[in-house]
Structure 1
Amino acid sequence: MRDHDMAAAAREPRKKSEDGFWDTIKVIIQALLIAFAVRMFLYQPFNIPSGSMYPTLKVGDYLFVSKLSYGYSKYSFNFGLNLFGTELFKFGPIPIDGRFVFPAEPKRGDVAVFKLPRDNETDYIKRVIGLPGDHVQMREGVLFINGVAVPKQRIADFVDVKGEGGGRPIPQYVETLPNGVTYNVLDFTPNGAADNTEEYVVPPDHYFMMGDNRDNSLDSRFGQNAPGGGVGFVPYENFVGRADIIFFSIEPDAAFWQIWKWPTSIRWLRFFNLVN
Structure 2
Amino acid sequence: TRTYEDHDVGDFAIDISACPAIFPTDAVKHAFKASCKKWMDGERKDWQLGKLTTPRRTAGGEWRAECRCMDCAECHAGNGTVLQFRATPEEPDNSNVLNVRLTVMVSGSCSGTPRKLKSDAVDRPSTTLTRRCVMQAVESLSQSKESVTPTRVARKIAARGDAELITNPSSLRYLARTCSKKAGVDDCRGQDRRQKQQIARSVSKQEWDLYVQANSGNQGKICFAAALPSGSFVLTLPPILDELCALHSAGALPRLYLGADATWKVEADDFT
Higher helix share: 2
Using structure 1 for the length normalisation, give the TM-score.
Answer: 0.19
Using structure 2 for the length normalisation, give the TM-score.
Answer: 0.19
Select the structure with the greater relative contact order (CA < 8 A; seq sep ≥ 6): 1
Higher strand share: 1
